[in-house]
Chains A and B, each alone.
Chain A
Amino acid sequence: MTELTITALPPAPLNAAEIWSNPAQVSVRCQAALGFALPGMGQSAGSEALKLLRYEPTVWLAEGDVAPLAAVLAEDGAITAIGGGIVRVRIAGAGWRALLMQGGVFEAEAAAFAPGHCAATVIDHVAVRLFVENEDACLAYVPSSYAAALMHFWHDVLPLVGAD
């Protein structure tokens, strides 16, 4: 029997950082100010204080303290708070990849979807964003209104992936 836990995490400061111009220069400024460059599509970068995940061509999800990010973006982008509308759900255990295939369309079982990678996809008709924390855990950013239903869905299908 696979061990698998599904846990809603406490609210976190989440922001959308949208860059409309000069992304390369913003990345350089990011490296200089925060110690890491802007991550590419499907990837993440960050520090203890701030993590950036890139799900869209022009938008990065920023988790953590975005105060220093405003200066990095300067006139090339803007930050908008979105954390009130997102529930972070941690799916931990060996079966998390199989669980995310349930009702999904994204190949969460691919080895290339490795720790540090992220993806935006749809699971059972709900738009979610995924971030691989480590080999045994994945974080799902779920719209708040769907969180209860989607967590119920995940618990419901646990037997299908060999977990209880």
Chain B
Amino acid sequence: MSAGPSRISPGGETVTFTFDAVTYCARAGDTLAAALLANGVGLVARSFKYHRPRGIMAAGIEEPNALVTVGEGGRAEPNTRATDLFVYEGMVAKSQNAWPSLSLDLGAALGLASPALPAGFYYKTFFGPAKRWMRYEWLIRRAAGLGNAPTLPDPDKFAQRAAFCDVLVVGAGPAGIKAALEAAESGAQVMLVEQDAVLGGSLHRDPDPECDAAWIAASAARIAALGGRILLRTTASGYWDHNFLTLTQRLAEPGAVPAHGFAQQLWHLRAGRVVLATGVIERPIPFTNNDRPGVMLAGAVRTYVRRYGVLPGRRVVIAANNDDAYRTAAALIEAGAEVLAILDSRSSSTADAPDGVPVLYDARPTHVSGTAHRLSRVTALVREREQSWTADLLAVSGGFVPVAHLHMQAGGKLDWNEAAQAFVPGVTHQNCVTIGAAADPVPATPAAPAGHPKKSFVDFQNDVSLADIDLAWQEGYRSVEHLKRYTTLGMATDQGKTSNMVALSRLAERGHVSVPQAGLTTFRPPFTPVTMGLFAGAGARNAAAHERRLALYDLHEARGPVWQPLGYWFRPRAYTLGSETLAEAALREARGVRTSVGLTDVSTLAKFEVSGPDAAALLEIVCATTVSKLAAGRGRYTFMLREDGMVFDDGTVWRLAEDRYLLTSSTGGADRMASHLSFVRNVLRPELRVSVVNVQEHHAGIAFAGPKASTLLAGLIGEAPPRHMSLARAVIAGVPVLLLAASYSGERAFEIYAEATQAQPVWRALAAAAEAEGGAPYGMDAMELLRIEKGHVVVGGEVDGRTTPRDLGLDKMLNKAGGFIGANGLQRPALSEPGRIELVGLEALGGEIAEGAMLIGAGGGAPQGHVTAAGRRVIEGGAIALAHLAGGHARRGEELTAASPTRGITTRVRVVAPHFYDPAGERYRD
């Protein structure tokens, strides 16, 4: 019989997979860990810092060693626990953090340098001259981390869904199944979630005749029949306020091609009551080389034997401080292994060892030895005398730690259980209870570690040893939270699931205090790692949001424009022709507006209908200009202030009828304006008799602008269009439209609104009319050129939340009667002090002006402002810009430098008025 792990009864291996390019066979239902052990593979990974050889230690999600990368290309998932990964046909798994190979890893040389890499190594490297850090930063960054994140996009999709239930049971071991069944029988809507691929939990390790496979199946069927929902491969990863939990459900194994394209689903669950049947995690024991392949948790060994039919070793020593490990001896003997000894750190026990298995009390392992692949020798102190065995497996059990993570995430306290030497769930203020082994762990007796502290590992994933904890203590780290961050203990993907209690025990030992006095770190979500794409959900590829489509989308798309995202909207940026560049197209389109006519889609503007006897009163609270004096059929420019007097949006207001107004404001601020209006309407002035309805999408809007716009429009509607800042109703192409004579471009212009469902014929008619006169559609870039030349401000550019109406030159329009939001804020003396940033225009004295450029005075010094928008004179040429400049209104004629180091453009500019085109507004009028 050869040494090392093997399948107990070979046969039934129907699944083929590869590990480090070697092909193996596995049984359906095997985890990768089980399959590797079954194939005799002991070495699975290399450790994080010292590249020490690591095997498989656990059989569940607590595994700290056996981390692999699974899958290929964008589907590759690094740092996946081999114990939480079920094999599938064609699975490709690779080891990590090893070069050139797992067996011959040159990084292991770092182990020789371990004395130079003590606890707090990273922190210590930050001290000293920066030049020194610059030397070894590259090396540290190269060495850091385990698996590599894929560089290709993830081809899979992720879903999110909501769910509600009366009772959520987390964990489908015997306690969880019973709790779920009981709740379902009582009439409750039940959800039972289990992170494993099968129900049963510990029953697969420790069979119970009363809870056999038939009982599990019957219970599941009964729960389902009573309307309950059972989710496998689903982890309750976050427990938030008000019994809100997030569940991560694997729809396909990591790296596998999902059947319907969805790899995982995130459940947003609201539960009336939560039952946590989350079980326990076994503690490892610290001793020299306790991290070597062949040292495993005793419960895990039992799982591999009984659930997977895998024997992790043939000649086995068991080391424990509790009765539970004795059951592992029984399981191993049933499977044909030889149990050489049970090393019990206690002085006595009532547990029954299998016949013929020697039990040695007051016995603790001191060290193990072997190759990188396999254990060969176990040495222990037995009643203070050293004794050794030739063995290929050491099964250890240092007691059990309840999985209280969710309980703590829920805000629950932990109580110290002296008998179990573990924290157990205590009081919680949420409707939550913990049952089963997590509430009542097996008693265990503390034992002082034997072996060399430097090679006695506590946190296997981060290579933190007892010596590291001791050093941190010596250097003054008393708080467990400080110790954690200094040593990196309990960090990374396993979050200290196997290490926290061992470390706390050592900390307590050093401080001569009890474990509870030593402290406890906080468990935070997620319980196990969650793929980032799952948080993004269906919108992972689209900034987590859907694209908003214009009502006229099809007509634009037919012209093949360059699309520009604007918030969630996409708008034509320019309609390039032939080999035109974007800039050439924008300039052509803008010149068309200046010389003939153009049309553009302005449907995205925010629009609100405000109606009722108090409509004007409400608008005069929201708008900083007068509204009530508007005659029916007229409109005006307006702007809105925050409470502090800063401009936050602008637009136009139109009196559609005696008690009905249309308010427009910026596209980007549409949702914010809707909230603002709702706040004013419903909170500030709920007594007003007014209706405020968001009609942003009800109307599609088309701006028709240029010196020929009025004549062409008259031809389309059969009458003279309204004069500037007046409105009229008309019919274009058989569609009723609202004509608003307003200009953003600086030309005679109209905003033409039609019900969005009927807007296409209107656009076609306007486009045909324009094109017959040499005009054309124009996009956002042309619009930007036109508005900069005209000196119109834009929200997000010149209106950036720091400017008052006076700063922007809008103060003459303020409603002198006050009463609007921000009126009081404007009275603050600081807002009238000299030196405030103010809106100015800039003319280049040669070259281009870079948007965002800093404005520097002739003598250099600190920036005095910045360029908010840069463009050019549409007809005459020459670079111009709008800018914020300290004390700008009084600095016209001054020459400055506009410098943009990021764009590499520096230009001399002259400060001018921010109106470069038709400052008197002559062109608005017929």
Whether the Cβ atoms of B549 and A80 lie closer than 8 Å is no
Interface string of B685-715 (1 = CB under 8 A from A): 0001111111111111000000000000000
Q: Which of B157, B161, B545 has the most CB of A within 10 A?
A: B161
CA distance A101 to B538 in the complex (A): 13
B477 contacts chain A at the CB level, 8 A cutoff: no
Whether the Cβ atoms of A83 and B698 lie closer than 8 Å is yes
CA distance A125 to B567 in the complex (A): 14
Interface string of B245-264 (1 = CB under 8 A from A): 00000010000000111100
* Chain B residue at minimal CB-CB distance from A150: B546
* Chain A residue at minimal CB-CB distance from B547: A149
Residues in B neighbouring A149, C-beta threshold 8 A: 546-549
Pick the residue among A83, A148, A159 that contacts B260 (CB under 8 A): A159
Q: Is the interface of A mostly helix, strand, loop or mixed?
A: mixed
Within 8 A of B (CB), among A99-137: 101-107, 109-110, 124-126
* Chain B residue at minimal CB-CB distance from A12: B757
Whether the Cβ atoms of B260 and A101 lie closer than 8 Å is no
Minimum CB–CB distance from A145 to chain B (whole Å) comes to: 4
Whether the Cβ atoms of B538 and A157 lie closer than 8 Å is yes
Pick the residue among B164, B260, B693 that contacts A18 (CB under 8 A): B693
* Chain B residue at minimal CB-CB distance from A159: B260
Residues in B neighbouring A77, C-beta threshold 8 A: 612, 691
B163 contacts chain A at the CB level, 8 A cutoff: yes
Residues in A neighbouring B692, C-beta threshold 8 A: 18
* Chain B residue at minimal CB-CB distance from A109: B164
Residues in A neighbouring B164, C-beta threshold 8 A: 107, 109-110
Do A145 and B693 form a contact, CB below 8 Å, given A81-B698, A84-B700, A124-B537?
A: no
B551 contacts chain A at the CB level, 8 A cutoff: yes
Whether the Cβ atoms of B691 and A20 lie closer than 8 Å is yes
Whether the Cβ atoms of B697 and A143 lie closer than 8 Å is yes
B390 contacts chain A at the CB level, 8 A cutoff: no
CA distance A143 to B547 in the complex (A): 12
Whether the Cβ atoms of B697 and A101 lie closer than 8 Å is no
* Chain B residue at minimal CB-CB distance from A77: B691
CA distance A143 to B697 in the complex (A): 7
Minimum CB–CB distance from A158 to chain B (whole Å) comes to: 9
Whether the Cβ atoms of A106 and B758 lie closer than 8 Å is no
Whether the Cβ atoms of B697 and A144 lie closer than 8 Å is yes
B550 contacts chain A at the CB level, 8 A cutoff: yes
Residues in A neighbouring B260, C-beta threshold 8 A: 159-160
Whether the Cβ atoms of A85 and B697 lie closer than 8 Å is yes
CA distance A45 to B544 in the complex (A): 36
B268 contacts chain A at the CB level, 8 A cutoff: yes
Whether the Cβ atoms of A157 and B544 lie closer than 8 Å is no
Pick the residue among B545, B550, B609, B682 that contacts A80 (CB under 8 A): B609
B576 contacts chain A at the CB level, 8 A cutoff: no
Residues in B neighbouring A18, C-beta threshold 8 A: 691-693
Within 8 A of B (CB), among A31-82: 58-59, 75, 77-78, 80-82
CA distance A115 to B810 in the complex (A): 54
Interface string of B24-56 (1 = CB under 8 A from A): 000000000000000000000000000000000
B611 contacts chain A at the CB level, 8 A cutoff: yes
Interface size on B, residues (CB 8 A): 49
Do A80 and B691 form a contact, CB below 8 Å, given A156-B538, A160-B260?
A: yes
B369 contacts chain A at the CB level, 8 A cutoff: no
Whether the Cβ atoms of B569 and A160 lie closer than 8 Å is no
Do A144 and B756 form a contact, CB below 8 Å, given A80-B611, A82-B698?
A: yes
Interface string of B534-577 (1 = CB under 8 A from A): 00011100001111111100000000000000000100000000
Minimum CB–CB distance from B119 to chain A (whole Å) comes to: 45
Q: Which of B259, B538, B660 has the most CB of A within 10 A?
A: B538
Pick the residue among B159, B549, B756 that contacts A84 (CB under 8 A): B756
Whether the Cβ atoms of A156 and B157 lie closer than 8 Å is yes
Residues in B neighbouring A144, C-beta threshold 8 A: 549, 551, 697, 756-757
Pick the residue among A11, A81, A107, A143 that contacts B162 (CB under 8 A): A107
* Chain B residue at minimal CB-CB distance from A153: B538
Whether the Cβ atoms of A103 and B697 lie closer than 8 Å is no
Residues in B neighbouring A143, C-beta threshold 8 A: 697
Pick the residue among A84, A107, A109 that contacts B698 (CB under 8 A): A84
Residues in B neighbouring A25, C-beta threshold 8 A: none
Minimum CB–CB distance from A83 to chain B (whole Å) comes to: 7
Residues in A neighbouring B548, C-beta threshold 8 A: 145-146, 149
Whether the Cβ atoms of A148 and B609 lie closer than 8 Å is no
A16 contacts chain B at the CB level, 8 A cutoff: yes
CA distance A16 to B164 in the complex (A): 31
Minimum CB–CB distance from B571 to chain A (whole Å) comes to: 11
Whether the Cβ atoms of B699 and A84 lie closer than 8 Å is yes
* Chain B residue at minimal CB-CB distance from A107: B164
Whether the Cβ atoms of B546 and A125 lie closer than 8 Å is yes
A21 contacts chain B at the CB level, 8 A cutoff: yes
Pick the residue among A21, A83, A107 that contacts B689 (CB under 8 A): A21
Residues in A neighbouring B693, C-beta threshold 8 A: 16, 18, 59, 80, 82
Residues in B neighbouring A159, C-beta threshold 8 A: 259-262
CA distance A118 to B710 in the complex (A): 47
Whether the Cβ atoms of B546 and A124 lie closer than 8 Å is yes
B160 contacts chain A at the CB level, 8 A cutoff: yes
Residues in A neighbouring B755, C-beta threshold 8 A: 81, 83-84
* Chain A residue at minimal CB-CB distance from B553: A148
Pick the residue among B262, B550, B690 that contacts A20 (CB under 8 A): B690
Whether the Cβ atoms of A80 and B695 lie closer than 8 Å is yes
B511 contacts chain A at the CB level, 8 A cutoff: no
Pick the residue among B611, B682, B757 that contacts A11 (CB under 8 A): B757
A26 contacts chain B at the CB level, 8 A cutoff: no
Whether the Cβ atoms of B756 and A20 lie closer than 8 Å is no
CA distance A147 to B757 in the complex (A): 13
Q: Could you tell me which A residues sit within 8 Å of B by CB distance?
A: 11, 16, 18, 20-21, 58-59, 75, 77-78, 80-86, 101-107, 109-110, 124-126, 143-150, 153, 156-157, 159-160
Q: Assuming A83-B757, A109-B164, A146-B548, what are 9 further A-B pairs, CB within 8 angstroms?
A: A59-B693, A102-B161, A104-B161, A144-B551, A145-B551, A147-B549, A156-B157, A157-B538, A160-B251
Q: Could you tell me which B residues sit within 8 Å of A by CB distance?
A: 157, 159-164, 251, 259-262, 265, 268, 537-539, 544-551, 569, 609, 611-613, 660, 682, 688-700, 755-758
Q: Which 7 A-B pairs have the closest CB atoms?
A: A85-B697, A159-B260, A149-B546, A18-B691, A84-B755, A145-B548, A84-B756
Report 12 cross-chain contacts, Cβ distance below 8 Å, ordered by A residue.
A11-B757, A16-B691, A18-B693, A20-B612, A20-B690, A75-B689, A81-B695, A84-B700, A146-B546, A149-B546, A149-B547, A149-B548
